Amino acid sequence: MLKVANISFGYTSTEVLKNISFNAQKGNYIAVVGESGCGKSTLLEIIYGLLHIEKGAVYWNKKKLLGPNFYLIPGEEFMKYLPQDFDLMPFISVEENIGKNISSLDPNKQARIKELLEVVDMVEFAKTKVKNLSGGQKQRVALAKVIAKEPEVLLLDEPFSHIDNFRKNKLRRDLFRYLKSKNILCIVATHDTTDALSFADEILVIRNGELIAKDSPENLYNHPKSEYVASFFNEINEIPNNKINLKSKSKKSVLLYPNQIKLVEESELKATVITSYFKGDFYLIEANLNGEIIFFEHSTKLQEGFVVSLEIP
């Protein structure tokens, strides 16, 4: 088990991480989300052992990890960390890059290289030199390389940022299925809500260096504690109660996703359409509700200035 216990860290006197704590088991996938600069990458570097901390500690199977001040070469042997810049050798082939992380004494080395090429969908590029690959292809090779040693803990920083949507969905399914089969703990810093919602066992939400929410994807999505948390999963409406019920004097607001607001034939709630955004199988409608900008979903495009009746839970 990985235990992160009350860690705080700052590159200067200002702390970028403040009292972060969580536990993770082997085979788990933990997604870390938050706005740029909130401390996601710093957290991964601390866990891996690239940054020294004075406050708090990181434990693996109850053993305290000492960090870079105690090792000639920073980083834990049983972990692999893939930062946003890829550590690849450009003048050798894809399969040779992957093979660098597999012992030459392993009798199944070639079979394992082939398996990893299949996981990242790079079989047809096995003999291609890395310098001739696109950014997305290099990222897929880098992923295969870090899992080649089958680490106990895998830390990934925006692992699909260079990969187009055509490849991304299948790659995510194949990669996370592979990691589960090998019982590898995976912690991913990501901006991509699909990475978190569809695959994670638990999501950590960081804001201004603080861990403000920690729960399963289902619980965080269905019961967000704030607009900030909900905004990672979808457009979010934070509507004051007095905009829904004009007689209300309550200063509280309700958080609603666009799909929770329904267009009906008649109601007391009237909104004026501002614009419609095509989303594929629906339109996202931006509208003005008693001076408040809201978003809701509808099956067809609505004309600007059209007045609609809404049902809001």
The mean per-residue pLDDT over the stretch 73-84 comes to 89
What pLDDT sits at residue 15? 93
- To which CATH superfamily is domain 237-311 assigned? Nucleic acid-binding proteins (2.40.50.140)
What pLDDT sits at residue 258? 96
- Distance between CA 227 and CA 235 in Å, rounded? 10
What are the residue ranges spanned by the domains of the chain?
A: 2-230, 237-311
What pLDDT sits at residue 246? 73
What pLDDT sits at residue 29? 97
The mean per-residue pLDDT over the stretch 293-307 comes to 96
What pLDDT sits at residue 176? 94
Q: pLDDT tier at 278 (50, 70, 90 boundaries)? A: very high
What pLDDT sits at residue 159? 92
What pLDDT sits at residue 219? 96
The mean per-residue pLDDT over the stretch 107-136 comes to 95
| % of the chain exceeding 70 in pLDDT | 100
Give 16's strand partners. Answer: none
Query: Which is more confident, 247 or 308?
Result: 308
pLDDT higher than 90, residue 293: yes
Sheet holding 283-289, edge to edge: 262-264, 307-311, 270-278, 283-289, 292-298
What pLDDT sits at residue 74? 84
What pLDDT sits at residue 300? 96
The mean per-residue pLDDT over the stretch 205-231 comes to 95
Q: Is the dihedral of CA 270, 273, 274, 276 positive or negative?
A: positive
| pTM of the complete model | 0.90
pLDDT higher than 80, residue 126: yes
The domain 2-230 having CATH identifier 3.40.50.300: the answer here is: yes
What pLDDT sits at residue 86? 78
- Distance between CA 215 and CA 255 in Å, rounded? 18
CB 22 within 8 Å of CB 213: no
The mean per-residue pLDDT over the stretch 172-192 comes to 94
The mean per-residue pLDDT over the stretch 279-285 comes to 96
What pLDDT sits at residue 193? 83
Q: pLDDT tier at 167 (50, 70, 90 boundaries)? A: confident
| Helix axes 165-181 and 135-147, enclosed angle (nearest 10) | 0
- Distance between CA 45 and CA 75 in Å, rounded? 9
